[in-house]
Structure 1
Amino acid sequence: MDHAYLPEPWRIKAVEPMSRPAPATLHASLRKAGFNTCLLHSRDVYIDLFTDSGTNAMSAAQWAAMMVGDEAYAGATSFYRFHDTIRGYYGYEHIIPVHQGRAAENIISQCLVWPGSNLPGNMYFPSTRIHQELNGGTFHDAIIDEGHDPSSAHPFKGNFDIGKLRDLIKRLGAATIPYVCVGATVNMAGGQPISMANLAAVRELANEHGIMVVLDAARAIENAWFIKTREEEWRDRSIAEILLAMCDLTDAATMSAKKDSFANIGGWLGVRSAELAEQARSKVLLYEGLHTYGGMAGRDMEAIAQGIEESVQEDSIRARVEQVAYLGNRLIAADVPVVMPIGGHAVYLDAAATLSHVPREEFPAQTLAAAIYERSGVRGVERGAISAGRHPETGANRMPKLELVRFAIPRRVYTRSHMDFVADSIIDVHRSRHRILRGLRFVHEPKHLRFFQARFEPMQGSELFADE
């Protein structure tokens, strides 16, 4: 018998109570948070789709593994299980633990990026780019044009435009490029994957010029699923085999284990070069802790090792991607503009299309995220001009082509009925979008990663929605 939507491949063994805040609470909480969903108290959020990072439900096996964590300061047994598991599934010879993904970005940027260097990539990610810029580098986008088009149905919108990449190398000079940074999947493009064929082409071009390739592997399992389901020659290969083949095309990887590995904290830097590994370990000693724990407890490393083994199970990744698609398809059926095709970890609303009457300078994505929270208690996050920040030299607001609101779905946390509530809430705001007359302006703007701590106020009055 065929089923349109298979049940989740797990049973619920423990529950966390949740309740929907009253409308007055939502109204007051949004204003106390300066119209920034990042600053809301979690107790005032009903369904939290702010991020899928560190918010996943761990399995019974992961909780059990934590109980045998070796908390020795140096050379803990848990580190060696962590190390060997990562090496087995991802293939990198040297594994350096860190407390989370952005720490790995910091370490590799300090090791490889210098003032005046250039970093091509398939669309930026805020924390990656800021670490590159703080070390004197400049990011250059080389993603295909479809990656910037919310309505394009291209199956691999995370692909590099090889012509653009080749031209960048020629124009900037290979000697100025320490590495090509590969997102898989590409978060800021809507969770869009890169194909194996395209990654191989990037590898070949980089080899021609002696340039390293560094993978952001946080959601590489999801990328492997899309390769399996969309790239014919990989259809009969396992997720574990595809993951390893992807990593084999790169020299190093940064990893936030808070994503694919189902962990609440932790990450790692994987490299092939012994020289780079030694340099990275010296940085970890300064910023993270000893090179055999890197800011994590032994129990965290045990949970990650077990989570990696669970992450490549095909029932698990299928259910994860299908849950995201279910939410996305409900919105599509209601004519809500979303990034197409639906990505692997989140549904992204096209705020520029929904609030087309709100000028980009009034931040329609930030406005839409705030409006959806105020009406429903559902928390998403802006992924547009606020996240893009300001140009480091001119100080002008960067205005990316994509002005999005992301609803990232934690793994193994919410059920289909939760997704129905989210869909109904977004559809309700979309249908009353004409009542949102103006956007938001800054009242407090931090220098770096401003979307986390910025505060706003409405451009007109004190309310987002005008009276009928």
Structure 2
Amino acid sequence: MEPFRIKTVEPIPFLSAEERQQILDEVDHNIFRVRACDVTIDLLTDSGTTAMSSAQWSALLRGDESYAGGSSYERFEQTARELTGFPKMIPTHQGRGAERILFTEMLSPGQITASNTHFDSTRANIEMLDCRAVDLPCPEAADLIDQSPFKGNIDLDQLRELLAGPDGEKLGAVIMTVTNNAGGGQPVSLANLRSTQEVCQKYRVPLLLDASRFAENAHLIVAREPGQENRSPREVARTMFDLADGCWASLKKDGLSNTGGLIALRDTETAARCRELLIAWEGFPTYGGLTGRDLEALAQGLREVTEPAYLADRAETAQWFADALAEAGLPVMRPASCHAVYADAGRLLPHIPPTEFPGVALVCELYRAAGVRTTEFGTLTLGHDDKPAPHELVRLALPRRVYTRSHLEYVVEAVSDAVGRAEQLTGYELAGPQPPMRHFTARLSPLRKG
């Protein structure tokens, strides 16, 4: 059972299928433009959708809203420093704000970053600086049903080859995303992270973590990596941070809060330059675009998120959900991660080519039929340079401490119905401009069958 009790409730809206179809037509079949009040079960994202604890709500009342030097920042800084071991803490309003500041400081036009897989906002912030983002996922990641426990790892052979080759001097940073969200939420092992650090040290390239889901990665290390089973998630998380030169995080995930981000660094000079950019773009260094109330909620959330009972429940829920969806006929990525289940829309809808966005077809059908909102992680979201994404995925994200198993059973029933109509679904065509993160604003039209 869930290791918590429900203290506050919110009504769930139920619209008819006809009403939802009308809404899809009005928003040009872009699920991001659907109003939350028209969604029954919202699995769009796990970012900023957490239900905060009673201790977090209590902490809000301690919020010090002083512009400079507030006590709420001091509590946040102390908590984050104890957790990560990094001496320099810089709060931001969310993860992409942290990315923008850190990359602007660390990268120069023409440089390259290498990663296990860059997330969409990470790639966009890198490419906007006229740099190039190179994905080097491990070979096991190519097989969606392979049961390898750490399919989020970086391919060390490809990384060494890149560094030893003509582009090696252009490499400005190696980025490890933990867990690997764009790669199906798969974790990175400590062994892979240690080996990556050794390569980076040899070539004097900084190693950075996108630590937005650090606690979930730590839990999966404890559960899956030999030799780590008797350690706590918090201890493993500290080891992960100790292997890196710095990190950033969207604390809207494993900060267990509704807003917030973080840059954490070892180098004093780099941190000082990042703070100058922070002042121009986010706010004074002791609030960084956040209220004192936000900082208090984050300080408490960063303490709660590594609790073993919470993390075990999250992982077990994701595993049960993946199994139930598979039994309903939906091909899903294996093994299950923590923050989401990833469905293989390309395998479910082989008659829809990547250029016609099979993931969008499944996303729209789940909303039309049952009011379930999910998001496409295929060619619309992760395709680039006129190339399709490696897989046509749909992510069913799990907001933290929000939905019970009966809610997810409703989703399973909706998926079962959609699977039964799979052959009837058609693809979509894209209209309008295509900015770097086109999936947020895209206008789509369904193609006629035949």
Is the contact between residue 207 and residue 245 of structure 2 (CA under 8 Å) also seen in structure 1? Answer: yes
Task: Show the counterpart of 1:39.
Answer: 33
Q: Report the Cα offset of residue 173 of structure 1.
A: 4.3
Q: Report the Cα offset of residue 366 of structure 1.
A: 1.1
Name the CA distance, whole Å, in 1 between partners of 2:100 and 2:444: 29
Is the contact between residue 118 and residue 135 of structure 2 (CA under 8 Å) also seen in structure 1? Answer: yes
Alignment coverage as a number of residue pairs: 450
Is the contact between residue 382 and residue 404 of structure 1 (CA under 8 Å) also seen in structure 2? Answer: yes
Is the contact between residue 389 and residue 449 of structure 1 (CA under 8 Å) also seen in structure 2? Answer: no
Task: Show the counterpart of 2:111.
Answer: 117
- Tell me if 1:97 matches 2:91: yes
TM-score under structure 1 normalisation? 0.94
Is the contact between residue 104 and residue 268 of structure 1 (CA under 8 Å) also seen in structure 2? Answer: yes
Name the CA distance, whole Å, in 1 between partners of 2:358 and 2:16: 25
- Tell me if 1:317 matches 2:306: no
Which residues in structure 2 correspond to 1:260-339 (within 5 Å)? 260-339=254-333
Q: Report the Cα offset of residue 172 of structure 1.
A: 3.9
Instruction: List per-residue Cα deviations over 1:288-333 (Å, max 9, x = no partner).
Output: 0001100000000000000011001000111111112111110122
Name the CA distance, whole Å, in 1 between partners of 2:272 and 2:11: 46
- Aligned residue for 1:191, secondary structure, equals coil
Task: Show the counterpart of 2:424.
Answer: 435
Instruction: List per-residue Cα deviations over 1:5-58 (Å, max 9, x = no partner).
Output: xx1111111111112212221111111111111110101100000000000100
Name the CA distance, whole Å, in 1 between partners of 2:191 and 2:248: 21
Is the contact between residue 13 and residue 38 of structure 2 (CA under 8 Å) also seen in structure 1? Answer: no
Name the CA distance, whole Å, in 2 between partners of 1:219 and 1:352: 27
Task: Show the counterpart of 1:447.
Answer: 435
- Tell me if 1:239 matches 2:233: yes
Letter in 1 for 2:333: V
Which residues in structure 2 correspond to 1:21-420 (within 5 Å)? 21-391=15-385, 396=386, 398-420=387-409
Is the contact between residue 174 and residue 211 of structure 1 (CA under 8 Å) also seen in structure 2? Answer: no
Is the contact between residue 383 and residue 389 of structure 2 (CA under 8 Å) also seen in structure 1? Answer: no
Task: Show the counterpart of 1:426.
Answer: 415
- Aligned residue for 2:212, secondary structure, equals coil
Q: Report the Cα offset of residue 149 of structure 1.
A: 2.0
Identity among equivalent positions (%) equals: 38
Instruction: List per-residue Cα deviations over 1:56-84 (Å, max 9, x = no partner).
Output: 10000000001110000001100010001
Task: Show the counterpart of 1:3.
Answer: none
Instruction: List per-residue Cα deviations over 1:332-387 (Å, max 9, x = no partner).
Output: 22332111111110011101101101111101111111111111100000001111
TM-score under structure 2 normalisation? 0.98
Task: Show the counterpart of 1:4.
Answer: none
Q: Report the Cα offset of residue 389 of structure 1.
A: 4.5
- Tell me if 1:16 matches 2:10: yes
Name the CA distance, whole Å, in 1 between partners of 2:242 and 2:180: 19
Is the contact between residue 429 and residue 446 of structure 2 (CA under 8 Å) also seen in structure 1? Answer: yes
Please list every run of at least 4 consecutive aligned residues from structure 1 whose deviation after the TM superposition is greater than 6 angstroms.
none
Instruction: List per-residue Cα deviations over 1:60-109 (Å, max 9, x = no partner).
Output: 00000011100000011000100010000111110000000011110111
Q: Report the Cα offset of residue 448 of structure 1.
A: 2.3
Is the contact between residue 359 and residue 377 of structure 2 (CA under 8 Å) also seen in structure 1? Answer: yes
Name the CA distance, whole Å, in 1 between partners of 2:114 and 2:166: 10
Is the contact between residue 25 and residue 44 of structure 1 (CA under 8 Å) also seen in structure 2? Answer: no
In structure 2, relative to structure 1, the CA distance for the partners of 1:173 and 1:358 (3 Å cut) is closer
Is the contact between residue 222 and residue 230 of structure 2 (CA under 8 Å) also seen in structure 1? Answer: yes
Is the contact between residue 328 and residue 415 of structure 2 (CA under 8 Å) also seen in structure 1? Answer: no
Letter in 1 for 2:196: V
Gaps of 5+ in 2: none
Q: Report the Cα offset of residue 456 of structure 1.
A: 0.5
Name the CA distance, whole Å, in 2 between partners of 1:387 and 1:39: 15
Q: Report the Cα offset of residue 423 of structure 1.
A: 1.1
Name the CA distance, whole Å, in 1 between partners of 2:118 and 2:143: 15
Instruction: List per-residue Cα deviations over 1:405-454 (Å, max 9, x = no partner).
Output: 00101000000000101111112101210111x20001233412000110
Letter in 2 for 1:429: A
Letter in 2 for 1:66: L
Is the contact between residue 120 and residue 181 of structure 1 (CA under 8 Å) also seen in structure 2? Answer: yes
Gaps of 5+ in 1: 1-6
Name the CA distance, whole Å, in 1 between partners of 2:232 and 2:166: 39
Is the contact between residue 346 and residue 407 of structure 1 (CA under 8 Å) also seen in structure 2? Answer: yes
Name the CA distance, whole Å, in 2 between partners of 1:239 and 1:447: 39
